[in-house]
Amino acid sequence: MEYTPEQHLAVFLKKKRQSIEPMSLGYDTARRRTPGLRREEVAQRAHISVTWYTWLEQGRGGAPSEEVLSRIAKALLLTDAEKEYLYLTTLGHLPKAEYQLSEVITPQLQSILDALSPNPAIIRNLSWDVLAWNDAATAVLTDYPLLAPEDRNIMRLFFLKNEVKAHSRDWVDTANLIVSAFRTDIARLGETEHTEQLLVELLERSDVFKTLWTSQQISHFNEGVKCLNKPEVGEISLGYSSFNISSRPELSLIVYTPQSEASLAKVKQLIDDCKK
């Protein structure tokens, strides 16, 4: 049987309402003829009228707005996956992403990074702070453990540290790319005290960054090739790919893969040297 969007919403809301234990939300469980919350309790939690919520559960309330649907999702304690499903089946699109400035990752994400070695890999947030890395990234890119947390920022390292420029054969092209992608990510995140301080510092201390930032170029950081010149082993060519982490949309996983057997051998040598 095919449901209309209104009928689908009605069935879903009723099932989710009936699955909530009233006592877990502080409601009296006495004199309840059916399991779960009452309709008026959901309506109160969602700040909508009981009549309209009743109509929604009866498949005759029309399509609620995105704001109202968000309040209902919160009232019914929906998980992120359930909320996405509700939006897709009711409105035909995902809910608006709510980006936050993460500072930590889960042990599971760290284990994924470690498993990617000898491919250097890092996880960064929307302000381009590097939150985690594997041993290959430490050996090939930057010795992150030696840096203070506030210094583990790709923009600071790239524009304010001379050694990064000295080791990057394609520094100018990379500078153009990362500033335009950084602008896109800052727009997603919105203005925060952290990003405001970071921008002020970069604009004051780097003329190159200031010129690129004021050019208003916009792009995404997806994939490409990065060429490094390491004093210990010479030139290394790395392809890079950036992946969004579905459960944490504010985080990106960036993986660097050696583009030749020679580059792979040099990466492994750098990793071995770091372990000595």
pLDDT, tens digit (0-9, with 9 covering 90-100), for 206-215: 999 999 999 8
Q: How far apart are CA 6 and CA 258, in angstroms?
A: 52
Are 71 and 150 part of one and the same domain? no
CATH number of the domain to which 29 belongs = 1.10.260.40
Residue 85 sits in the same domain as residue 111: no
Structural domain includes residue 126: yes
Model confidence over 148-196: pLDDT tens digits? 998 999 999 999 987 777 677 778 888 889 999 999 898 888 778 888 9
* pLDDT for residue 250: 87
Residues 57 and 123 in one domain: no
How many structural domains comprise the chain?
A: 2
203 lies in some domain: yes
Dihedral sign from CA coordinates of 213, 178, 111, 85: positive
| Domain boundary, last residue among 90, 115, 146 | 90
How much is the pLDDT for 47? 95
The pLDDT of residue 129: 94
Residues 152, 244, single domain; the answer is: yes
Identify the domain containing residue 52 by its residue range. 5-90
pTM for this one? 0.73
In a domain, 219, yes or no: yes
The answer to the question of residue 34 being in a domain is yes
Residue 25 · residue 74 · CB < 8 Å:
no
Final residue belonging to a domain, choices 63, 90, 117: 90
Indicate whether 97 belongs to any domain.
Answer: no
Identify the domain boundary among 90, 115, 139.
90
Residue 252 sits in the same domain as residue 130: yes
Neighbours of 130 (CB within 10 A): 21
